[in-house]
Amino acid sequence: MATLQSYLMVTAILFGLGLFVVTTRRNAVGVLMGVELILNAASINFVAFAHFRGNDVAGNMFSIFIIVLAAAEAAVALALVISLFRQFGTIDVEEATTLKG
Amino acid sequence: MLNMVWLVPILPLIGAFLNGGYSFSGKKLVRPLVHTIACGAILGSFLVTLLTFIHFLGLPSEERSVTVTLFSWLNLTNVKADVAFLIDPLSLVMMMIITGVGSVIHIYSIGYMSHEKSYARYFAYLNLFCFAMLCLVMGSNLLILFVGWEGVGLCSYLLIGFWFHEKKNAVAGMKAFLVNRVGDFAFICGTMLLLWSLVSVGQGTVTYTELKGAVHLLTNQTVMGFPVLTVVTLLFFIGATGKSAQIPLYVWLPDAMAGPTPVSALIHAATMVTAGVYMIARLNFMYSLAPDTMNVVATVGYATAIFAASIGFTQNDIKKVLAYSTVSQLGFMFGAVGVGAYTAGVFHLMTHAFFKACLFLGSGSVIHAMSGEQDMRKMGGLKDHLPITYKTFLLATVAIAGIFPFAGFFSKDEILWHTFNKEPVLWCVGVLAALGTAIYMLRLVAMTFFGACRADEKTKHHIHESPATMTIPLIILAFLSVCGGLLGIPEALGHLVGWEHSNLLESWLEPVFAGPHHEVEAGHTMEYLLMIFSLGVALGGCYLGYTLYTRRQDIPERFVRRFPRLHRLVENKYYVDEIYQKFIVDNLLRLNQWLALFDQKVIDGIVNLTGSITKVGAFISGWFDRVFVDGLVNLSANLTLQGGRGLRLAQTGRIQDYLYVVVAISLLILFWRFS
Amino acid sequence: MHFPYLSFMTFFPLVGMLIIGLMPSHRADCIKKVALFTTLPPLVAAIGLLMHFDKANAGLQLFEGPYAWIPAFHIQYYMGVDGLSLVMLLLTALVCPICILASWGIEKSPKGYFALFLLLDSAMMGVFSSLDFFLFYVFWEVMLLPMYFLIGIWGGPRREYAAVKFFLYTLLGSVLMLLVMLAFYFYSDGNTFNLVTLANQQTHLGPLKGEHFRHLCWLGLFIGFAIKIPAFPFHTWLPDAHVEAPTAISVILAAVLLKMGIYGILRICYPILPDATVHFGTLMAVIGVINIVYGALCAMAQKDFKKLIAYSSISHMGFCLLGMSSFTPEGLNGTVLQMFNHGTITAQLFLLVGVIYDRAHHRDLEGFGGMAQIMPRYSAMTAFAFFAALGLPGLSGFVSEVLCFLGGFRSFPIITVISVSGVVLTAAYMLWTYQRVFLGQVNEKYKAFSDITARELTTLIPLVIIVVVLGVYPSYILDLMNPTLVALGKTLTDLKIAGL
Amino acid sequence: MRENLLHFIPELVLIGTILVLFLAAFLASAQQRLFPQIAFVGLLMMLLANYGSRDLPAIHFFSGMVTYDALGHFFKYIFGLVGLMGIIFSHQSAELEKADLPSYYTLIIALILGMVLLATASNLLMIYLSLEMVSVLSYILTGYLRGVRRSSEAALKYVIYGGVASGMMAYGFSLLYGLTGSMDLTTMAQYLGANPASRSLLYVGVLFSMAGFGYKVAAFPFHMWCPDVYEGAPTPFTAILSVGPKAAGFAVLIRFFLTALTHSSASGDFIDFKDTGWPEMIAILSIATMTLGNLTALVQSNIKRLLAYSSIAHAGYMLMGLAALNNEAVRAVLFYLVVYAVMNLGAFLVVIIISNRLGTEQIEDYKGLGHRGSLGLLLAVAMTIFLFSLTGVPPLAGFIGKFYLFGAVVRAGLYPLAIIGVLNSVISLYYYVRVIKLMFFDQPADASPLSLPVVSHSYVVSGLAILTVYFGLFWNGLAALTERSAKLLF
């Protein structure tokens, strides 16, 4: 039987991986996947906490909302990636640096 | 009469105002109008003074001190000072001198300045000077005295630099003012110390009449280990050395001769420079309580007397000789007040005013005749061309030399007599100085009036006696030089002719200087002996001076040839003093110019030295201000900007760098929190 | 109910500003006249105030208010005068019309210039009349804005630098003041900005906690005010500001704005934090003497006429610091009188520099010479102002300087003796300057210069008269302020004695 | 239920407006001028409805998801007014000429709705949902300029940054949920007050939550999207962005920290539960935020970037109020938000007008604006008022805002914070004044008088300028309003 600690460990690693991905991947889609990882870490946390609090409905609900919103965000983000590709001819985020300083 | 006494200073002020306004307006010059106003003003105040004097004569001596208050000037908790005039025998003597001699010089100026473009401005300054000088002597407290004190300094500045288009004159005026300011610095400090010391004993005042009753409370007070009264009186005396051209602050006076000659007569001989003597005489009750200061005053006075007399020999500029003579005579006056002979000091002040004014005006007449030439080596033989000038000049010279029965004899002799009683060493110095005076004055007369005329042809052609406006004042002053001494015939002499209270001036001034007479009277026999001795010295000096510079000019020349190494000693008479002075100056400034003219070195030395020190200081602080104070501000501004630039670099435009920052800072916060 | 002199003096210039704002900008003449006639009624009101003022009363009087302004913060509209502020109000009311006259030659958008000037006028009046710290602060800051533009738009070549420097410096000072003001508010009984209430609370005994804290408050306020004075080492904005500012603005800056520093210390630090004031008395005296000597030495090193006068202002404000640090009636009277006198004398000096600058278009001291022969009347006026500035007895500057010295000597003899040397230095740089510019050989280049004009004279004559009158009869002003200052000094002296 | 809906009327009005806009887009998409009018009227009605609901009792409703209280009521006004301004600003914008206007206005109204919900949310879930709503709409609006590189780039950066930030927030929320077993802020506070909990985990949770809030208000170190997005986004939207979401962020910050993590004492101070140390964290972030914002603003050459950094700095000032932890501070933040909204919107409007007219956002091009005819003078004077107000110079509203904030900080005894704050406002003077200097002290390259395409803009500019001065002199009403509004329902 998995303990709460082990869930938390997994999510912490997932969260860290997510942060690692968003800060290192140069491909915009890859970066967005990192964001998904972070959100998933949160999502799993919610479910785990809800489970260990006697299947509290609120926690489960939150994780569902996270999934929904992640999808919405991804939709917008991908649209913007496409737009970026049209402008810059690449989806490498390192290229999009005209705004700085 | 006393309710009119305020007119005495106010009339010249009005005159100054009118003429000043006239000059300022730039309207066409109407000379008679100008000098009528100016002379009318000063004559008016002379008249009022005279009437007051007559009124006073009718009063018993203890009632001869009246304070006329006009209004309150300062009325604060501890400092109370009225604009008020103290009319007493001392101030009346001074007023008489100022308005009397002043009137004469005003009239003289009509002739002397007749070609001057800035005629109205000149008379405005002259009147303003009289006003300030009258404030100085009439003021009933130290603050009013100081107002006059600085006021005369201002007028001195304005008049020395009267012909300001020549830089030399302007600089001379500035020097006079600045050197005086150094003295004033001490004066202010003295006033502050005096006031607060008195406040601390519950008697805070600056008014003479109240001071007189209060200063004895300070006898046991000290400041930084020194008796308060000694410090205060010394500080005042430093102020006096500035105004009255004593060592070490005399340097401005010879330069002050850059002004018009009547100015030299009025300000730099007869009146302003005697302000220091007046001040000490006025504060005699305080000085008498500070014997140490008295010694200093007397010593400085006599030192100045002989020292300045020595310089008198080396000068060829007629006015410079007189200037050094003035310094020397002022030294006598300080010597007098320094030994407690206040009456003698004031007496000499008065006689000096007569004969020195006469000498200056006479020299002015000479210069006028010589078309502005002041170098005596280019004069000579003028006695036939300028008979009145010559005669009056000669009389004044005899007076200053101290020949009986001319004015100088009585006053100088009284000083020497008191000095002898107090301090025989100083007496010797005094006698030597008197001898010197006689010699160089005769040298002056000889070089100017006797022998052959050494002027060039053009100048020679123009030589003429001065107009009546100039000669009449000369005659008046010569008359006073001759008879002025009779006001103070010593009792020893009066005794001879059966006149018990022959010293009129002494009994007149007695209420002011009443105090314990602590001198030991050496008896009449001694006094006669000394009198004859000093008369002999004076006569000898006159003879020597006359002979050496007229008939036997070969003696100094042979002397020089026989003793080449003594050449300079003889030429400079009191070489010891000069070496001493040169030594100081050269150490201070120019080691390589041992033989440069003495006073010039002093001027360059002290004024330029202070000038360059302050300039260096000013430069350094200006630099400091730019580099450090401002620099610090700019530095912090720059740092801020640099910070901005640095932070701007962090905004790379790369989204992942932004995320790095988020992660890194979040981790940092967690570390900070949990470590 | 008396006529609201103070509000009238404060807000009337704003009316003029609005009128000017509505006028077409090409009617320069009319604008100037409106500006002039807007500054005159406050002058009349100031005289009315003077008549109405009870000299025997040491306290504040002729109150207007307190009216609630922002009840949420207990902020009041509260004005009143005592001897101290009355003198300053008189000075301001007097200098403003003179400055308008001196600005007659402004050609670059006069509309903006005069509108801003009137705003400045209003703010200055407000500062001197306010009895509510918040109100005071608002007026204090409002002064900055027009000043910034007046220097920055109508100034000389380096005007931007000077304007920004001025603004930054003074803002720095005022934000510190803001913090202390808030501290006063929160730590006072009943949370108030009312200066009278604050002073009466005797904070050194009461609610403001901790001696250390009060000392910090004092320092915060002092830095704020010291920048305005300007006291060493916060003074370097002043020479720049003066050099670049147009003549009239230099005049107002030197004559009125610098006084606000001292005024603020006397109005706020002294009554509200008396113990801290006593504690820092020596500091003030030391800064005072540095100002005097350092300012004078710097002045001597200057080659720019205006910079010289600016440094002389620094030197002269040192006298104020010295005088006020003594807490003696003489010192305090000397300080306030010196504020007034410096206002009238320095105003003349800047006006005079303006006169020659208008003709020569430079201010290099070495570049003139012999001007006394070319412009005799101008030179006479300058000589007068110079002698007034160097403290010639008989003119007003002398009285106040001597009083500052007399007061200072009581508390700080050595420091004062050093300060007195400033008298010599002042004379030195003043006379040296005079000699370089006016005396000696005539500079042929300027031979054609016209002498001072009637308008220029009109700006100077009232000041000359005041300088002479106050030199001869200083009691006229001293009587106004003496009771107030004696009362102020007594509190501090008592504390000082108790502390020892 | 009926009562709940009564509390919800302003939101319902907004939803209605969105529906009307959809319908209109469907029926009359050619009538370009119709949409702003519908949006405008909708917002006006929302404001009216909000006014009408002013006296309703404070309650939690929708299962405690949403709160109706004075604070939320206050923020609804702010958002409504910001929305109105945004619509005015967008009117005839040169940038938005080619954009799809019907959707633009719909999105704006939806954004306002999102902000309203954010400001009234009292449950972690609701906070997350509404914050995402605001974010997603913001991404879209930022990238609204099709075919404009900087717009797309900004939007992409925004979406990535926002995604990470909201992800971190969600993770933080999960930790808080795990610790307290609740998502309702009030219940969380009750739990924390009564039960032991791991302080360090709580701190981690708070810090990660802060990522989401901090990103919304643009506080260090979550601010870095801000300049790029401000520069890239269409300027009218930037104006809204600089005020609206920032205000919403502060609303949620106040509600989150003061409801869930503190208990209030009798003296009106709030006390940090369990001594978690979050006030210190906020104080440090506040210092870092304002210093960084001001310093970086010093060296900007683009006016929008300058205003972006300035808005970061202002977020720093307001965070100072949060760190002070007292009632005055809450009031001060609310007050500051209002005056900030007024002056910042004013400044942006001037930028928009210049941008529309001269097509430039470079500060250099503001040279001599004050000398370019009466319109130029008006704009320059108004800009001067806004910028001085942003600096905090009396008698302008910005000063009063700072006065309130510093007052609260001094009251809390945080003197170092106060001193750094005032020093920062001195630094800020330097860059604001640079713009003013250029406008007045320098001569324009092209001295021709300016003309204005949209007349109403000049009225709005004047109105905002007057309001800035008015609030600087007579702020009693506003003070009273904020005092009333600084009441949370716990």
Give the ipTM: 0.83
Neighbours of B465 (CB within 10 A): 17
Distance CA B283, CA B234 (A): 12
Which stretches of chain A drop beneath a pLDDT of 50? none
> Are C241 and C360 in the same domain?
no
Chains A and C are in contact, defined as 3 or more C-beta pairs closer than 8 angstroms: no
- Contacting residues of C for B629, CB less than 8 Å apart: 232-233, 235-236
Q: What is the band of C331 on the pLDDT scale with cuts at 50, 70, 90?
A: very high
Determine the residue of chain C that is closest to D482 in CA distance: C72
pLDDT value at residue B629: 60
Q: What share of chain C is helix, strand, coil (3-state, %, to 5)?
A: 75, 5, 20
Instruction: Tell me: pLDDT of B401 over 60.
Output: yes
Quick one: pLDDT band at residue B560, thresholds 50, 70, 90? Answer: low
C455-473: average pLDDT: 92
- The answer to whether the CB of D404 falls within 8 A of the CB of D331 is yes
Query: What percent of chain B is modeled with pLDDT above 70?
Result: 85
Given this model, what pLDDT does residue C378 score? 92
> pTM for this one?
0.87
Cα Rg of chain C, angstroms: 22
In whole angstroms, what is the distance from residue C126 CA to residue D312 CA? 35
Nearest residue in chain C measured CA to CA from B172: C435
3 state SS of B262: helix
C159:D441 CB<8 A: yes
Question: B166 and C409: CB-CB below 8 Å?
Answer: no
pLDDT of residue B532: 84
| Residue type at position D226 | C
Pairwise CA distance, residues B558 & C89, whole Å: 80
Name the DSSP class of D443: P
Residues C258, C382 within the same domain: no
Do C130 and C67 contact (CB within 8 A), yes or no? no
Out of C438, C442, C475, whose CB is closest to B74? C475
D-proximal residues of A, 4-23, CB under 8 Å: 4, 8, 11, 15, 18-19, 22
In the block, tokens 């990470």 appear at D164
Cβ distance B412 to B348 under 8 Å? yes
- Residue D156 has its nearest CB partner, among A46, A56, A81, at A81
CB neighbours of A89 closer than 8 A, spacing ≥ 6?
Answer: none
Q: Tell me how far apart the alpha carbons of residues D296 and D279 are, in angstroms, rounded to a whole number.
A: 25
CA angle D105, D111, D115 (to 5 degrees): 150
Chain B CB contacts of A99 under 8 Å are 653
Dihedral Cα D471, D477, D483, D484, nearest 10 deg: -140
| pLDDT of B571 higher than 70 | no
D neighbour chains, 3+ CB pairs within 8 Å: A, B, C
Q: Are C87 and C340 in contact (CB under 8 A)?
A: yes
**Number of H-type helices and E-type strands within chain A:** 3, 0
Contact A101 B653 (CB under 8 A): yes
Q: What is the DSSP letter of D448?
A: P
pLDDT exceeds cutoff 60 at B24: yes
CB contact under 8 A, C175 and D394: no
CATH topology of domain A4-90: Helix Hairpins (1.10.287)
CB contact under 8 A, B170 and C440: yes
Q: Is the peptide bond before C233 cis (omega within 30 degrees of 0)?
A: yes
Cβ neighbour number for residue B565 with a 10 Å cutoff: 6
State whether A35 and D160 contact (CB < 8 Å): yes
Q: DSSP string of C83-129?
A: HHHHHHHHHHHHHHHHHHHHTTT--S-HHHHHHHHHHHHHHHHHHHH
Q: Using alpha carbons, select from D418, D395, D228 the residue that is nearest to residue D312.
A: D228
Cα C226 to its chain centre, rounded Å, is 12
B154 vs B184: CA distance, rounded Å: 13
Chains touching chain A, criterion 3+ CB pairs below 8 Å: B, D
Chain B residues whose beta carbon lies within 8 Å of the beta carbon of residue A93:
654-656
At residue D364, what is the residue type?
A: E
Q: Is C453 found in the same domain as C348?
A: yes
Shared domain for C137 and C181, answered yes or no, is yes
Q: For chain C, give the mean pLDDT.
A: 89
Higher pLDDT, D51 or B570: D51
For residue D254, give both structure tokens: 């106040």
Structural tokens at position C162: 């000077």
- Cβ <8 Å between B673 and D281: yes
CA distance C185 to chain D (A): 9
Q: Does C427 contact B181 at a Cβ distance shorter than 8 Å?
A: yes
Confidence of residue B225 (pLDDT cuts 50, 70, 90): confident
Distance from chain centroid for Cα B464: 32
With beta carbons less than 8 A apart as the criterion, state whether B576 and B438 touch: no
Q: Residue D306's closest chain A neighbor by CA?
A: A101
What is the pLDDT averaged over residues B151-176?
Answer: 87
In angstroms, the CA C123 to CA D392 distance is 17
pLDDT value at residue D268: 64
SS3 label, residue C246: coil
DSSP element (H, E) containing D83: helix D70-90
Per-residue pLDDT of chain D in tens (490 residues, 90 and over written 9): 456 678 888 999 999 999 999 898 888 777 778 888 999 999 999 999 999 888 888 888 888 888 888 889 999 999 999 999 999 988 878 788 777 888 899 999 999 999 999 999 989 999 999 999 999 999 999 988 888 888 888 998 999 999 999 999 999 999 999 888 888 988 888 888 887 777 788 888 999 999 999 999 999 889 989 999 999 999 999 999 999 999 999 999 999 988 888 877 666 677 776 567 788 889 999 999 999 898 888 888 899 999 999 999 999 999 998 888 888 888 899 999 999 999 999 999 999 888 888 888 898 888 888 888 888 888 999 999 999 999 988 889 999 999 989 988 988 888 889 989 988 888 888 888 889 888 888 888 777 787 766 678 888 999 999 999 999 988 888 888 888 888 776 6
CA-wise closest residue to D230 among D348, D343, D339, D115: D348
Task: Determine the distance in angstroms separating the CA of C159 from the nearest CA of chain D, rounded to an integer.
Answer: 9
Asked whether residue C370 falls in the same domain as residue C450, the answer is yes
Neighbours, chain B (3 or more CB pairs < 8 A): A, C, D
Task: Return the amino acid letter for C351.
Answer: L
Distance CA D97, CA B598 (A): 93
- What is the tally of structural domains in chain C? 2
CB-nearest partner of C432 from B72, B83, B174: B174
Residues 6+ apart with CB under 8 A from B100: B46, B49
State the pLDDT at residue D218: 92
Residues B637, C165: Cα–Cα separation, whole Å: 10
pLDDT digits (tens, 9 = 90+) for C11-63: 999 999 999 988 887 888 899 999 999 999 999 999 999 998 988 888 888 88
What lies within 8 Å, CB to CB, of A9 at 6+ separation is: none
Predicted confidence (pLDDT) at residue B304 exceeds the cutoff of 80: yes
Cβ–Cβ below 8 Å for D393 and C144? yes
Question: Rounded to whole angstroms, how far apart are CA atoms B481 and B476?
Answer: 9
Beta pairing, strands B226-227 & B222-223: antiparallel
Bridge-based pairing state of the strands B80-87 and B66-75: antiparallel
**Within-domain flag for C483:** yes
How close A100 gets to chain B, by Cα (Å)?
4
B671 touches D at CB < 8 Å: no
Of C329, C398, C472, the CB nearest to B78: C329
In this predicted structure, the answer to whether residue B608 has a pLDDT above a threshold of 60 is no
Nearest by CB to residue B655, choosing from D161, D297, D299, is D161
Under an 8 A CB cutoff, do C138 and D440 touch?
A: no
Q: How confident is the model at residue B507 (pLDDT cuts 50, 70, 90)?
A: confident
Residue scoring higher pLDDT (D24 or C301): D24
Looking at the fold, whether C205 and C344 belong to one and the same domain comes out as no
Distance from CA of C470 to the nearest CA of B (A): 10
Cross-chain CB nearest to C179 (options D406, D433, D480): D406
- Tokens linked to C143: 């002064």
Termini Cα distance of chain A:
53
Which residue segment(s) compose the domain that C356 sits in?
A: 301-500
Q: B438 with B309: CB under 8 angstroms?
A: no
Concatenating the DSSP letter of every residue in B78-109 gives S-EEEEEEEESHHHHHHHHHHHHHHHHHHHHH
Per CB-CB distance under 8 Å, the chain A contacts of D139 are 76-77, 80
Task: Give SS3 for B74.
Answer: strand
Q: Is residue C412 part of a domain?
A: yes
Using the CB atoms, write b or e for D293-308: b if 16+ within 10 Å: bbbbbbbbebbbbbbb
Residue B570 confidence (pLDDT) above 50:
no
Q: Is the dihedral of CA D464, D469, D471, D474 positive or negative?
A: negative
Tell me whether residues C182 and D440 touch, CB distance under 8 A.
no
pLDDT of residue C66: 87
Which among D113, D139, D132 has a CA at the least distance from the CA of D43?
D113
Q: Six-digit token pair at B168?
A: 């030399």
Window C:167-196, CB contacts with B under 8 Å: 168-169
Which helix (H) or strand (E) segment holds residue C67: the answer is strand C61-70
pLDDT band at B63 (very low <50, low <70, confident <90, very high): confident
**Chain A CB contacts of B656 below 8 Å:** 22-24, 26, 31, 93-94
- For B238-295, the pLDDT digits (tens) are 999 988 888 777 778 877 888 888 888 888 888 888 999 999 999 988 888 888 888 8
- C239-295: per-residue pLDDT in tens? 888 989 999 999 999 999 999 999 999 999 999 888 889 999 999 999 999 889 888
A72 with D183: Cβ contact below 8 A: no
Taking CB atoms and an 8 Å limit, are D200 and B662 in contact across chains?
no
- Tally Cβ neighbours within 10 Å of residue B229: 27
Sorted by where each begins, the domain ranges of chain A are 4-90
SS3 B64: coil
Question: D232 to chain A: which residues are within 8 Å by CB?
Answer: 99
Q: Are A9 and A26 in contact (CB under 8 A)?
A: no
| Tokens (6 digits) for A26 | 């140069």
Instruction: Select the residue of C235, C431, C478 nearest B74 (Cβ to Cβ).
Output: C478
pLDDT of residue B291: 87
Interface test with B, best of C298, C341, C457, C461 (most B CBs within 10 A): C298
Q: Looking at beta carbons, which residues of chain A come within 8 Å of B655?
A: 31, 93, 96
Q: Residue C285: CA atoms inside 13 Å, Cβ hemisphere, count? A: 29
- Give the pLDDT of residue D489: 67
Are C407 and C457 found together in one domain?
yes
Question: Domains of chain D: which residue ranges?
Answer: 277-490
Mutation choice for D interface testing from C14, C69, C138 by most D CBs within 10 A: C138
CB contact under 8 A, B673 and D203: yes
Site of tokens 């920052």: B661
Nearest to D160 by CA among B663, A69, A35: A35
Q: Are chains C and B touching, using the cut-off of 8 Å on CB pairs and a minimum of 3 such pairs?
A: yes
CB B249 within 8 A of CB B242: yes
Q: Tell me the residue length of chain D.
A: 490
Does B649 reach chain D within 8 Å, measured CB to CB? no
* D62 interfacial to chain A (CB closer than 8 Å): no
∠ CA B606-B611-B615 to the nearest 5 degrees? 150
B 580-639 near D (Cβ less than 8 A): 637
CA D396 to chain centre: 19
Whether the predicted pLDDT of B501 surpasses 80: no
Question: Considering only CB atoms, which chain B residues are within 8 Å of D227?
Answer: 651
**Shortest alpha-carbon distance between residue C190 and chain D (Å):** 14
* B419, B429 contact by CB (below 8 A): no
The answer to whether A32 contacts D160, with C-beta atoms less than 8 Å apart, is: yes
In chain D, residues with a C-beta closer than 8 Å to the C-beta of C168 are 426, 429-430
